[in-house]
Chain A
Amino acid sequence: MAKKLSRRSFLECALAGGAAAGTANLTIMRDAFAQASGPIVIGHHCDLTGAISSWGFWHDKAAKAAVDLINQGGGIAGRKLELATEDTESNPASGARKLRNLIQRTNAEFIVGSVHSGVMLSSIPIATELKTIYFSTGEATEATGSKGTRFSFRTGTDTYSIAAASLPWCVESFGKVWTIIYADYAWGQSTAQESKVYIERAGGKVLNAIPVPLDAKDFVPYLAQISADTEVLLPAFIGSLSVAFYTQAKSMGLDKKMKMYSSSASIEAIAPDDIQGAAEGVYFFENFPRQLKAKDDGFHKQFNKLVGIDDVDAREVGGQRVMDKSHGWQAWEDIFALKQAIEASGYKTRKDVEGVIQALEGMQMTNSLAHPQGDKIIRKQDHVGIIDCYISRVENGKLEVKKRIPKEELAQNMPLRHNLSEMPV
């Protein structure tokens, strides 16, 4: 009996190995390293499906449009630019796998990364190990903070910079007594934590921080915890949870009792017009105004045209989708930032990546079609985008800019917490 079982298990082992061998892709692929004269491959680690796909759609569109534009202008350093896109499925496990796929299989030399915090944080160690620059487009501050490396960069804002840019003005303008209500997961918790620090630093007080489970359908038990003394409410929700929150808060008349201020993520891919006035009167942080008139220049207008959105709601021309404009621009600009750094450093192959990193550290970008969001700098030490920010209010169903916060003010309000530029390559 024992002999029979032993033989069978031996056979089963053989079968498994055979299956693995038989299914392995035996096609000879391209060289592991891009040739100095061949195309440069940028990988797009894009959330095309899953929870955050309504944003990923726009990142994909923006990245493709940017690559087309660069190739029309002669590519990067005279080499054609190729974009390889992989769907992260808005899932850290899939995202990590797809990143290896992009780098090891598709030979992507640089990565324009996910907007999903979990995906980008799971990706950074892999990108670092494979010595590949990874631009995060999401808001987890850890990506260029405590979990950042020499290879992790961002041109946009994170929960730290959003709080630093906006809350000093908000506390002064809206009131000193705040309540925070947030989706009880990483982004909501991070927003609550960073915001509390800056509200208190500006002389305000946070009465309560109320976590709401992700599967909440009825907000009443949580809205009931908001103190009547609250002057300003800071909600932190995304997507359908955000719509549900504003709808129920409005029906309870909270908008008449207190001001509300939230991050751009709460209204991304949503046109205020489409939610029947639920967000009317609410203030939102933006880093690329939805309305052209708020940053009225030809670069912004041309960007809108090339990405295929209107100049008011950032809505798809001829469609209903709304762009996540305060995040989606990064998929465009990150590619141009890489182009600038590659050309400045004389990059030829992967072994020259350190030069690109050094070029990116402290790199200044000028308001142009390449950088339609505006002038900006990637701060050398923490690899964070220092950019102009805006605070807008929903009025008659449109986001109207009320305050522009210059990038210099952001830099001043956001002291360095980490120095990634001293880490080894």
Chain B
Amino acid sequence: MTRRSIEIGMAVSAATFLISVPWLIPALTDNFWVSVITEILIWSLFAASANLLFGYVGLLSFGQALYFGFGMYGVALGIDHLGLSFWPAFGLGIVSAIAMALVSGVFAVRLSWHYFAIITVVFSLIFYFLAVSMKPLTGGDDGINFSLPPVFRFGGSIWSLTDPTFQYFFVLAVVSLCFFLMYRVINSPLGKGFLAIRDNDLRASLIGLNVYVLRLIAFVMAGFLAGVSGALFAFFGRYASASYMFYQVSGEAVVWTIVGGAGTMFGPLVGTTLFIVIREIVSSHWEHHSLIVGLLAILAVIFAPKGIVGLWNGWMTRLGERDAASAPPRLTLQAEP
């Protein structure tokens, strides 16, 4: 079996699975797992925001929960306090997260390494405590719950996230679109600039790249991804709470990214899937399931520093090299010079 055939097989299987989830899962088990897979998609987008900064720009952020929280609160406040309908509330959540990322990014991206990590935690904590103490606005740690407005109305028919199948496909579409956008950016000249900064920011600046501006762009983009995931999670849970803005939530995204594969497009999705499925299976039987998370993170760092996807890519590269070595020499109609 060649590398290409494995890749095609995996891709077709994954696409078929993702498209058939709302019918396949209830036929095999219970509806609960459709919700779990929906949640995995949302959290993997959140992890992708940490991955964009850490895996592609070399900035380790423990503050992505702040933008996740702004996305959530934009939606919840938009619906509950301002009476907005679905799309304006969704937009408010995303714009709030982007604005917050821009404001905090202006200060944060001047720093790097542990100083950067610390300032992201500090920003996260400041707004976490503000959100906790501003109960009339945010609901504090009790949070705000709200009733879902419909997503679309066509004549007499209403499309709402209260329909689990529609909710799943809506989340799948938004998350897929965000991953596609991220893929396009990473493979654009802008993305190459990110990678140059990640590998050596001094050299990047010497070849004329504006390191500060590029980092700020990446930071705001990561805020956008976290904001979209927060807004989706608010819709999914019909709820927003200050507790989601705590830096521990950011830490989970970092762990999912590292175990899945930092600097790979779908590493966060793999890491998130792994941990959430483990949590769902184990947590009903053993309350200390988070110990497994710690153990897997340690094992990944020691034995698979590029994460699960990095490990897989390594195998595939070796397989590709083997394919190339065993392939017969290419025939040409033209004589060799």
Cβ < 8 Å to B, chain A residues 92-112: 92-94, 96-98, 100-101, 104-105
The verdict on A19 contacting B270 (CB below 8 Å), with A11-B7, A24-B277, A105-B32 known, is yes
Cβ < 8 Å to B, chain A residues 1-58: 2, 5, 7-21, 23-29, 32, 48-49
Report the stretch among A114-122, A343-351, A406-414 that lies at the interface.
Answer: A114-122
Q: Does A87 interact with chain B (Cβ within 8 Å)? A: yes
Cα of A129 to Cα of B35 in the assembled complex, Å: 13
Q: From the candidates B33, B145, B283, name the one contacting A122 in the complex (CB within 8 A).
A: B145
Size bin of chain A's contact surface:
35 or more
Report the stretch among B55-63, B116-124, B239-247, B295-303 that lies at the interface.
Answer: B239-247
Cβ < 8 Å to A, chain B residues 116-161: 129, 132-133, 135, 139-143, 145-147
> In the complex, which residues of chain B have a beta carbon less than 8 angstroms from the beta carbon of A153?
none
Residues A11 and B10 in contact, CB atoms below 8 Å apart? yes
Residues A185 and B133 in contact, CB atoms below 8 Å apart? yes
Q: From the candidates A11, A20, A87, name the one contacting B316 in the complex (CB within 8 A).
A: A11
> In the complex, which residues of chain B have a beta carbon less than 8 angstroms from the beta carbon of A190?
135, 142
Q: From the candidates B39, B142, B316, name the one contacting A187 in the complex (CB within 8 A).
A: B142
Closest to A12 in B: B266
The verdict on A17 contacting B29 (CB below 8 Å), with A184-B133, A189-B135, A214-B132 known, is no
> In the complex, which residues of chain B have a beta carbon less than 8 angstroms from the beta carbon of A96?
237, 239
> In the complex, which residues of chain B have a beta carbon less than 8 angstroms from the beta carbon of A275?
none
Residues A92 and B29 in contact, CB atoms below 8 Å apart? no
The verdict on A16 contacting B273 (CB below 8 Å), with A86-B284, A126-B237 known, is yes
Q: Does A265 interact with chain B (Cβ within 8 Å)? A: no
Min CB gap A58→B, angstroms? 17
> In the complex, which residues of chain A have a beta carbon less than 8 angstroms from the beta carbon of B129?
213
Cβ < 8 Å to A, chain B residues 1-59: 4, 6-15, 17-18, 25, 28-33, 35, 37, 39-40, 44
Min CB gap A30→B, angstroms? 8
Residues B273 and A92 in contact, CB atoms below 8 Å apart? no
Cα of A21 to Cα of B33 in the assembled complex, Å: 11
Min CB gap B58→A, angstroms? 19
Residue pairs across A and B with CB atoms within 8 Å: the count is 188
Cα of A144 to Cα of B89 in the assembled complex, Å: 26
**What count of chain B residues pass the 8 Å CB interface test?**
65
Residues B11 and A11 in contact, CB atoms below 8 Å apart? yes
Residues B145 and A87 in contact, CB atoms below 8 Å apart? no
The verdict on A125 contacting B238 (CB below 8 Å), with A12-B309, A104-B35 known, is yes
Min CB gap B187→A, angstroms? 6
Q: Does B183 interact with chain A (Cβ within 8 Å)? A: yes
Q: Does A243 interact with chain B (Cβ within 8 Å)? A: no
> In the complex, which residues of chain B have a beta carbon less than 8 angstroms from the beta carbon of A32?
30-31
Cα of A293 to Cα of B147 in the assembled complex, Å: 46
Min CB gap B255→A, angstroms? 16
Q: Does A179 interact with chain B (Cβ within 8 Å)? A: no
Q: Does B267 interact with chain A (Cβ within 8 Å)? A: yes
> In the complex, which residues of chain A have a beta carbon less than 8 angstroms from the beta carbon of B237?
93, 96, 122, 125-126
Residues B266 and A21 in contact, CB atoms below 8 Å apart? no
Residues A101 and B284 in contact, CB atoms below 8 Å apart? yes
| Per-position binary interface string of chain A over residues 144-177, scored 1 when its CB falls under 8 Å from any chain B CB and 0 otherwise | 0001000000000000000000000000000000
Q: Does B269 interact with chain A (Cβ within 8 Å)? A: yes
Cα of A258 to Cα of B18 in the assembled complex, Å: 65
Cα of A386 to Cα of B124 in the assembled complex, Å: 42
Residues B7 and A104 in contact, CB atoms below 8 Å apart? no
Q: Does B312 interact with chain A (Cβ within 8 Å)? A: yes
Residues B35 and A186 in contact, CB atoms below 8 Å apart? no
| Per-position binary interface string of chain A over residues 73-88, scored 1 when its CB falls under 8 Å from any chain B CB and 0 otherwise | 0000000000000110
> In the complex, which residues of chain A have a beta carbon less than 8 angstroms from the beta carbon of B265?
8-9, 12-13
Residues A104 and B273 in contact, CB atoms below 8 Å apart? no
Q: Does A211 interact with chain B (Cβ within 8 Å)? A: yes
> In the complex, which residues of chain B have a beta carbon less than 8 angstroms from the beta carbon of A122?
143, 145, 237, 239, 241
> In the complex, which residues of chain A have a beta carbon less than 8 angstroms from the beta carbon of B13?
14, 17-18, 21
> In the complex, which residues of chain A have a beta carbon less than 8 angstroms from the beta carbon of B28?
24, 26, 28
> In the complex, which residues of chain A have a beta carbon less than 8 angstroms from the beta carbon of B37?
20, 24
Cα of A15 to Cα of B266 in the assembled complex, Å: 8
Q: Does A124 interact with chain B (Cβ within 8 Å)? A: yes
Q: Does A140 interact with chain B (Cβ within 8 Å)? A: yes
> In the complex, which residues of chain B have a beta carbon less than 8 angstroms from the beta carbon of A140?
142
Q: Does A142 interact with chain B (Cβ within 8 Å)? A: yes
Residues A186 and B135 in contact, CB atoms below 8 Å apart? yes
Cα of A9 to Cα of B32 in the assembled complex, Å: 29
Residues B187 and A2 in contact, CB atoms below 8 Å apart? yes
Cβ < 8 Å to A, chain B residues 60-91: none
